[in-house]
Amino acid sequence: MAQERKTIGLMLKNNPGALSRISGLFCRRNFNIDSITSSATTDPAVTRVTITIHDDEAVLRQVMLQTARLEDVIEVFLLDPENSLQRELLLVKLAANVSNRSALREIAAIYKAKIIDLTPESMVFELTGRPSKIDAFLAMLEGYTILEMCRTGITAMERGPVRVHNRKPVETLKPEPELCEN
């Protein structure tokens, strides 16, 4: 059974090494990060981090509990996919020539991808959207030669005017005994 992608939001004190401590915790506990993004907020003292993982509920609880214990962490919350906006950016360079350029433009138009560079041998597309849109666009490009590709990872925030989390406070989550390590 495929595990569903979980998106975790963090608010961190904007201190040197804070992001390194977060990724170090994941590494030490053998938690795999699918993507991680870090960005400024309206408060220069606070950094927002978005992490995606594919794992079960027990591991998710452990990730959130252990992350919340770090000194730089202000808040840890789970982003509900139905109540949040999740986007990522893709840059993809494809081998292109006179014979396939038109077909590539048609695919790009369907997905609203921008052509941001064009040479006689290649085309570079930029696409921003939900991860499923990025995946679908890449699936349409499978018959073409992808020369280079870069995905930013997911960045996300809740819908609505104020950031409100419909979640249990991290402190109320009970750790799974078999996953607890010192």
Q: H/E element holding 107?
A: helix 101-111
Phi and psi at residue 53, to the nearest 5°: -140, 155
User: Which domains are seen in the chain, by residue range?
Assistant: 5-79 (3.30.70.260), 86-155 (3.30.70.1150)
**pLDDT attached to residue 2:** 55
One-letter identity of residue 37 = T
pLDDT value for 132: 93
pTM (global) more than 0.85: no
- Three-state SS for 114-169 is EEEEECCCEEEEEEEECHHHHHHHHHHCCCCCEEEEEECCCEEEECCCCCCCCCCC
Torsion of CA 131, 149, 107, 121, to 10 degrees: 170
pLDDT digit string, tens, across residues 106-121: 999 999 999 999 999 9
Q: Which residues of the chain have pLDDT under 50?
A: 1, 164-170, 172-182
Maximum separation of any 2 CA atoms in the chain, in Å: 61
